[in-house]
Structure 1
Amino acid sequence: MKTSPLHRVFSLLRFLADNNTKGARIPEICAHLGIHRVSAHRLLRTLVASGHVEQAPDLSYRLGFEAWALGLNYTQLFVPPVIAEALKRVSETSEESVFLMRRAGTEGVCIAAHDGSYPLRAFVMRIGTRRPLGVGGTSTALLAQMPEDEANRIIEANAKEYAAYGLKERDIQLLVSEGRAQGYVFTKGYLAQELRTVAVAIPRLSATAAQMSLGIVALESRLREPRRGELLRALQTAAATLQDVIY
């Protein structure tokens, strides 16, 4: 099926967002979009002229100011102050880093976070990080909230993505089944072995409400019982208070 020019624009912007720290060069962009250099240069020139993309001195490309401004207009819509305050309370009480993830198709996107006072040496997530649903406890909590058949379809669709993390479909299915039965998810770190995640889905008051989850990421030594249970209850309390503002 032929890709439309508009679809290429969105695909490029998302690719740049995922690589915004280091930037992306023309060969990488061509490989991702499946287009020739001439087409890539033409597309990038248009986006640079509009301010949605910027070219760095090292000739790599990143999202531009206009892309940031566009997203900023919707910050209050998707992350109202009450959500930010709830994350802050959990983080300050627990001293751990807290993350809010929202479902986007077969992925989860981190849309808010609050760093804990206890330092984490390993990279965890940042706002804007995308993960296949099932990779990491916070995204797995979203799968555990879904009907079994829907979750299984997503797990099957993400099979190739899991391989990059050393995971198999069966691994995810077991975690989801366990999470569905106990009402929360507890996982080991896939990107940093010393980390663990405890996460819960935010209850949905309607079928049209956005699917979101809250997770705490901490060192394994700091998520042992009985402390894990204490942090789980803090997450569950926050999730219960947020269900009224999720739509």
Structure 2
Amino acid sequence: MNETGLAAGETPGAQTLRRGLAILKLLARSQPDGMRISDIGRRLSLSKATAVRLTQTLVDERFVVHDAASRCYRLGPETFAVGLAAEPSYTLQRLAMVSLRALALETGDWVFFSVVQGFEAICLSRETGDVPIPPDALRVGDRHPLGVGAGGLAILAALPEEEAEAALRANGPFIDKHYPKSPVSVIRPLLRETRERGFAVIPGIVVPHYWALGVPLLRKDGRPVAAIVLVTSEARLHPMRRAVLGERMVRVSRDVMSRAEQEGSV
């Protein structure tokens, strides 16, 4: 984020709003520990004065709270209220939560849940496993293009071929630039394998020595609306366990969607 320059066509007011929202997004990814003002400024490339001014405004409006003991800022009650207003959009994640936690406890691996938004997938939850997780693993609120990661790949494979191709064309330049270990040239063969297998397997491409499995959650019409992802170390995911876990995750996804349909949530 540029401290001084405005984006083309952007007004000072829009820039201020964008910076304030960036602070909220950053704090959402640092829950529950929160962040100090120096870290907020450094992560967003803001001067200390600008970071203090924007963060204090969010405190005044109760979107952020300040812990005097730790000197950290965290999300406040108004952020929670806004989240509750948007809750219907996250009903599926709520329905899946018990199953995701059970899967993480049963396997000892990390389990993530992402929903589809356009040609992107957004991580809504992650359940703790026993194995160490890499520091650059998905956090709640992170988004990535369809095709990247096991969840994005599982969702992409469940789309009609023409739509999947449109997603790759739209996302391709961004993927090739920002995900050099998983460019479109690598995604295409993985996409074919995912369609044949019924679930996605990412063999240590995104994060070395960590593998991931992904399954889509499908509506009755076959439309993917979300994905469940399991991440573990390469040593724990031998072929037999890979197949067993893939089938287990498919059953979980079907069970979640069955309950969602009964509630009229999808």
Residue identity over aligned pairs, in percent, reads 24
Aligned to 1:213: 227
Q: Supply the RMSD in Å over aligned alpha carbons.
A: 3.3
TM-score, normalised with respect to structure 1: 0.76
- Displacement after TM superposition at 1:192 (Å): 4.2
What pairs up with 1:133-212 in 2 under 5 angstroms?
133-146=146-159, 147-152=163-168, 153-163=170-180, 166-190=181-205, 192-205=207-220, 211-212=225-226
What pairs up with 1:51-62 in 2 under 5 angstroms?
51-55=62-66, 61-62=73-74
Aligned to 1:14: 25
Cα pair 1:133 1:155 within 8 Å, conserved: no
Aligned to 1:67: 79
After superposition, the C-alpha distances for 1:26-74 in whole angstroms (9 at most, x for unaligned) are 354345xxxx776554433321211212456686654334324543565
Residues 1:236 and 2:250 aligned together: yes
Kindly tell me: are residues 39 and 88 of structure 1, through their superposed partners in 2, closer, same or farther at Cα, counting changes over 3 Å?
A: closer
Cα pair 1:25 1:61 within 8 Å, conserved: no
Q: Which consecutive unaligned segments of at least 5 residues does structure 1 have?
A: none
Residues 1:48 and 2:55 aligned together: no
SS in 1 for 2:238: coil
Cα distance in 2, alignment partners of residues 206 and 87 from structure 1: 24
Moved more, 228-237 or 153-162: 153-162
Cα pair 1:185 1:198 within 8 Å, conserved: yes
Cα pair 2:29 2:139 within 8 Å, conserved: no
Kindly tell me: are residues 100 and 145 of structure 1, through their superposed partners in 2, closer, same or farther at Cα, counting changes over 3 Å?
A: same
What pairs up with 1:30-49 in 2 under 5 angstroms?
30=45, 40-49=51-60
Cα distance in 2, alignment partners of residues 92 and 28 from structure 1: 34
Paired residues in the alignment total: 238
- Displacement after TM superposition at 1:223 (Å): 1.6
Cα distance in 2, alignment partners of residues 62 and 161 from structure 1: 29
- Displacement after TM superposition at 1:101 (Å): 1.2
